[in-house]
Structure 1
Amino acid sequence: MAGCGSGGDGSGGGTAAGPSTAPLPAVAKDDALAAQVPAPISADGKIVFGTDASYPPNEFVDTDGRTIIGMDVDLGTAVAQKLGLAAEFQNSAFPGIIPGIQGGRYELGMSSFTINDERLQTVDMVSYFSAGTSLATRAGNPDRVTLDTLCGRAIGVQAGTVQVEDLAARNASCVDNGKAPIQVTELQQQTDVTLALTSNRIVGMLADAPVIAYAVQTTGNQLQVVGSQYDTAPYGIVLAKNQAGFASAVQGAVQALMADGTYKAILDKWSVGEGAIPSSEIRS
């Protein structure tokens, strides 16, 4: 992907509120953690991250059309700095990031990946955030869409996300109960899903709660959240299996950022502090 498909701020229209302009704390290298990074990764002085920059405020393209910014980018950059390395974020279609990790194209994946058993079969993950799924509709909810009335409705979702599986299960329930199937619109970029909703091509969309909240905030009051978030689960930084030292270094870096206040400052910058977790864990 060269950039967002629906507007320079990645919001699908409207005026972006933008992050806090307060400076983030300087991040000091931790020599002990840096020593755990495998030499093939540290040799070039950087960590290459795969990310899908269409998921604001977590990862998206800035108004210059090139620079990738967001909560995940700030946190990933801080993790790299704690390990004495630079961070390079490469834009990728979401479904291609984990295969890119497995194939060695990326050294880490940081793109709002929910930790689940399916992903842990092929990669390891280091937890750093928590989020559930939310439903958004057009402002005023003119179609009276709720989570209990999705059958027969046009609902949008980004390809490769946990919400695809959620919609599939809900759709099976619709069919099993003799109701019309959900008209699923599955798009490659979340920003395009948001645009489809604001342009009235769909009547609702499912996405991670902070992404839905940001879309509501940045689309000029065109959207609203319906109900509460559900299925809350941790996000994980993705890395290839059989890299115990690297996983330990990444987990230690996240934990150190939590301890020194950098983690909180980054989440507060992007107004996503509700997703903070008390400690980071390696999941494999």
Structure 2
Amino acid sequence: MRTRTRRSNTAALGALLITGTLVVTGCSSSSKSTSSGSSAIPTPSAVASLAAQVPAGIKSSGQLVVAADASYAPNEFKDANGNIVGMDVDLAKAIAQTLGLTANVQNSDFTSIIPGITSNKYNLGMSSFTDTKEREGTVDMVTYFSAGTSTAVKAGNPQKVDPNDLCGKKVAVQTGTTQADEIKNVLNPACSKAGKPTIPNNGDQFDLQTDVTQAVVSGRDDVMLADSPVVDYAVKQTNGQLETIGSVSDTAPYGIVVAKGSPLGPAVQGAVTELMANGTYKAILEKWGVQAGAVNQSVINGATS
């Protein structure tokens, strides 16, 4: 959120909505099993060939310092005890273990993470960063997930929401997200142009994603828009009170942020590939209910725009 996923092309989306075709919906060694939260995920063994690629300074410290903005469930957030948890956190720990290290995940403001990478304050940034050409000019990005925008409604879709046409529907979104911007800048102008009622209030906006979810569960709003892993997690956490409709749109890869040209980049990319091969990657995504964003290959700097 907060512009972590890339924004849609407004002109194209507006045209599609008017014509009725827009879908507004919406990353081997031996291992042993351990328990993490309520789900068992494998604990990967270190891979010597990958560990050998780790820069000497990091290797001697024994730690992989990872920055995350812990405000974005289920990818990175704080649990009831104040611990930083989430899909990205579990993946960071598994990557570190594969490299023969221990992950030291630190909470950081989202906008401070890339500067922290370039100043060597952090070794990695794992905070739902979309891999973009602009970011690749400053840092390297190791792809590991795919996210876009998804749509969710109350189970059974009692308001008969059509994901192709949200005009006139009460839509819940989190404040400051691309979804909120899209309602104001894309969807409502397109509704007006088509002679249809607009989405009231440019969407009902909430500071917390949990309040967005509750607005739909309670029936206050008809539908919610959010990043695809967030919606998948909300469906899981509400125990069937919500369901997704349509498909994910405007998808783009998430990337692990690494210093530009660092040998740590290929080591991390190799670790992600290893985790995909040994089943750890799949188990982590399934634990957090975000397996729909799984990718089959990790690359360095895979941005398309």
**What is the TM-score normalised by the length of structure 1?**
0.74
CA positional deviation for 1:280: 0.9
Aligned residue among 63, 66, 73 for 2:82: 66
d(CA) in 2 for partners of 1:186 and 1:40?
45
What is the one-letter code of the residue matched to 2:277?
A: A
d(CA) in 2 for partners of 1:39 and 1:171?
54
Matched, 1:52 2:52: no
Please tell me whether the aligned partners of residues 216 and 223 of structure 2 are also in contact (alpha carbons under 8 angstroms): yes
Please tell me whether the aligned partners of residues 131 and 234 of structure 1 are also in contact (alpha carbons under 8 angstroms): yes
Q: Structure 1 unaligned runs (5+)?
A: 1-17
Structure-2 change in CA distance of 1:217 and 1:263 (3 Å): closer
> Secondary structure of the residue that 1:25 maps to in structure 2?
strand
Q: 1:54-86 CA distances to partner (integer Å, 9 max, x unpaired)?
A: 433333333x33122222221110101112221
Matched, 1:123 2:139: yes
Please tell me whether the aligned partners of residues 71 and 266 of structure 1 are also in contact (alpha carbons under 8 angstroms): yes
Aligned residue among 238, 241, 246 for 1:219: 238
Structure-2 change in CA distance of 1:138 and 1:271 (3 Å): closer
Please tell me whether the aligned partners of residues 68 and 106 of structure 2 are also in contact (alpha carbons under 8 angstroms): yes
Cross-structure match for 1:276 = 294
Structure-2 change in CA distance of 1:244 and 1:104 (3 Å): closer
Q: 1:120-159 CA distances to partner (integer Å, 9 max, x unpaired)?
A: 3443211112233211233454554443433455534446
Structure-2 change in CA distance of 1:206 and 1:280 (3 Å): same
Please tell me whether the aligned partners of residues 126 and 281 of structure 1 are also in contact (alpha carbons under 8 angstroms): yes
Cross-structure match for 1:137 = 153
Cross-structure match for 2:227 = 208
Structure-2 change in CA distance of 1:117 and 1:51 (3 Å): same
Q: Which segment is superposed worse, 207-216 or 97-106? A: 97-106
Cross-structure match for 1:77 = 93
CA RMSD of aligned residues (A): 3.3
d(CA) in 1 for partners of 2:145 and 2:236?
21
After TM superposition, list the pairs within 5 Å mapping 1:1-284 onto structure 2: 21-22=39-40, 24-62=41-79, 64-102=80-118, 104-151=120-167, 153-158=169-174, 163=179, 166-167=182-183, 168-174=185-191, 177=194, 182=199, 183-185=202-204, 189-198=208-217, 202-240=221-259, 242-283=260-301
Cross-structure match for 1:4 = none
Q: 1:152-181 CA distances to partner (integer Å, 9 max, x unpaired)?
A: 555344466554565443345345556665
Q: 1:197-241 CA distances to partner (integer Å, 9 max, x unpaired)?
A: 44566543222333212212322544332322223332221223x
Structure-2 change in CA distance of 1:195 and 1:79 (3 Å): same
Please tell me whether the aligned partners of residues 55 and 189 of structure 1 are also in contact (alpha carbons under 8 angstroms): no
The percent of aligned pairs where both chains have the same amino acid is: 53
d(CA) in 2 for partners of 1:249 and 1:164?
37
Please tell me whether the aligned partners of residues 20 and 270 of structure 1 are also in contact (alpha carbons under 8 angstroms): no
What number of residue pairs does the alignment pair up?
264
> Secondary structure of the residue that 2:61 maps to in structure 1?
coil
What is the one-letter code of the residue matched to 1:261?
A: G
> Secondary structure of the residue that 2:153 maps to in structure 1?
strand
Q: Structure 2 unaligned runs (5+)?
A: 1-35
d(CA) in 2 for partners of 1:32 and 1:45?
16
> Secondary structure of the residue that 1:282 maps to in structure 2?
coil
**What is the TM-score normalised by the length of structure 2?**
0.70
In our comparison, the structure showing a higher alpha carbon Rg is: 2
CA positional deviation for 1:110: 1.6
CA positional deviation for 1:192: 4.2
Q: 1:234-274 CA distances to partner (integer Å, 9 max, x unpaired)?
A: 2221223x233121111011112222332233233334434
d(CA) in 2 for partners of 1:198 and 1:65?
26
